[in-house]
Amino acid sequence: MKKFITNPYFKKGLPGDNGIDPVSTDVETVKKLLSLCPKAAETPLAESAKLSKELGIKKLWFKDERDRMGLGSFKALGAAFVIASDAAENLKSFSKDANWSSALNGKTYISASAGNHGISLAAGARIFGAKAVIYLSKNVPSSFADKIRSFGAEVVVCGNDYEESLEGAKQEAEKNGWMLLSDVTWDGYDHGLRVMQGYLVLADEACARCDETPTHIFLQAGVGGFPASIATYMRKYFGNDPKIIIVEPTKAPVLLESIIEGKAVTVTGGVSNMGRLDCKSPSIRALSSLAITCTNFMTIEDEDADIAVEDLKQNKFDTSPSGGAGYAAIKEAKKYPESGVDENSKILIILTEKPA
């Protein structure tokens, strides 16, 4: 069942938390490392007067992450940034003349992924001479496995969902003494915050290119790392005026249900066509952050995402159901007066990935 809720913890944080956002806004460190990468070009911020009119709103911006660094999604900024940071630490250098290609020889990174995080990790490991091992669940499309292997990484298919593949990766990391580089955080594991820091670049670019302050920002969510990073930075840039609305599949409303319960919960449900959003347990630090920064949480059906993908394709914004979930949510949000979406709305969304 679809839901739309107002976050009672906005600007305060979850019960038991300290009310301090754990997510970094240090984008300059990320930019410094990315400046060494020839493929690290800025992605565009597009507008569509046609789709704005069809939606009955004033303005619609698309932050287009479909070709980020040639890897096909915003996640190119995450794991690759962390691995680059580790390489710089090993070399004690930020010079382009340093021996980057062997900086991490002998080191192995391992993670579970729903697809795009694994691609970023595999690409980053290859650049700096490390080995990558990526655990995928049985539900991840084979196209992602093929892409990951193309960067020289080992792919292990494990479990029926993301959570089971993550457990497999944890066990293998501990057994072999490998570096577990997850984009998720849990009690005792905060490396996901470093991955999230990489995503700040896209938020910084979008904010700088918006010629007006958005009234609404729709952010699709899986475990929560991506929207937490973006929301934290956009609150710093735009202040508390924009409504920031988190969008999840009805089959995986883990953040919405956690907000309702006032604590992290695990949910159950079928397999969503929004595969990169189909996560049943939240990233703990991301949830803490989102409780502070976001005004609303909502869910959409798989059918809503399918319709959105077709609408976007007809307007040359080809993406996947996961990538187009923010757009799909706009139509749904208009059904809820508390969303505030109307003819005066100026809405920012993010096309997070190219079609699978």
Q: For the chain, give percent helix, strand, coil, nearest 5.
A: 40, 15, 40
Question: Which residue in 286, 229, 285, 275 sits closest to 249, CA to CA?
Answer: 275
Q: Each residue of 158-201: pLDDT tens digit?
A: 999 999 999 999 999 999 999 999 999 999 999 999 999 999 99
Question: What mean pLDDT is predicted for residues 66-70?
Answer: 93
Question: Which residue in 130, 139, 133 sits closest to 175, CA to CA?
Answer: 133
In DSSP terms, 112 is beta-bridged to 135
Query: Which pLDDT score is estimated for 38?
Result: 67
Are both 4-72+200-351 and 79-182 of the same fold?
yes
CB distance 137 to 164 below 8 Å: yes
Backbone torsions φ then ψ of 350, nearest 5 degrees: -125, 120
For the purposes of burial, counting CB atoms within 10 Å of the CB of 316, is it exposed (0-12), middle (13-18) or buried (19 or more)? exposed
Query: Which pLDDT score is estimated for 92?
Result: 87
DSSP tally for the chain: helices H, then strands E? 13, 11
Residues sharing a CB contact under 8 Å with residue 49, sequence separation 6 or more, in sequence order: none
Residue 300 identity: I
Query: Which pLDDT score is estimated for 94?
Result: 73
- Boundaries of every domain in the chain: 4-72+200-351, 79-182
Residue 149 tokens read as 């292997």
Query: Which pLDDT score is estimated for 107?
Result: 97
pLDDT of 356 over the 80 cut: no
Mean pLDDT of the residues in the chain: 95
DSSP string, 108-165: EEEEEESSHHHHHHHHHHHHHT-EEEEEE-TTS-HHHHHHHHTTT-EEEE-SSSHHHH
Question: What mean pLDDT is predicted for residues 236-263?
Answer: 98
- Between helix 27-34 and helix 200-209 the angle, nearest 10°, is 100
Domain 4-72+200-351, architecture per CATH: 3-Layer(aba) Sandwich (3.40)
Question: What mean pLDDT is predicted for residues 98-126?
Answer: 94
How far apart, in whole angstroms, are the C-alpha atoms of residue 310 and residue 289?
A: 33
Query: Which pLDDT score is estimated for 117?
Result: 95
Q: Each residue of 200-249: pLDDT tens digit?
A: 999 999 999 999 999 999 999 999 999 999 999 999 999 999 999 999 99
Question: What mean pLDDT is predicted for residues 286-294?
Answer: 98
pLDDT of 40 over the 90 cut: no
- In the chain, pLDDT over 90 holds for what percent of residues? 93
Cβ count within 10 A of residue 11: 12
Q: What is the CATH number of domain 79-182?
A: 3.40.50.1100
Name the band, by pLDDT with cuts 50, 70 and 90, for residue 61.
Answer: very high
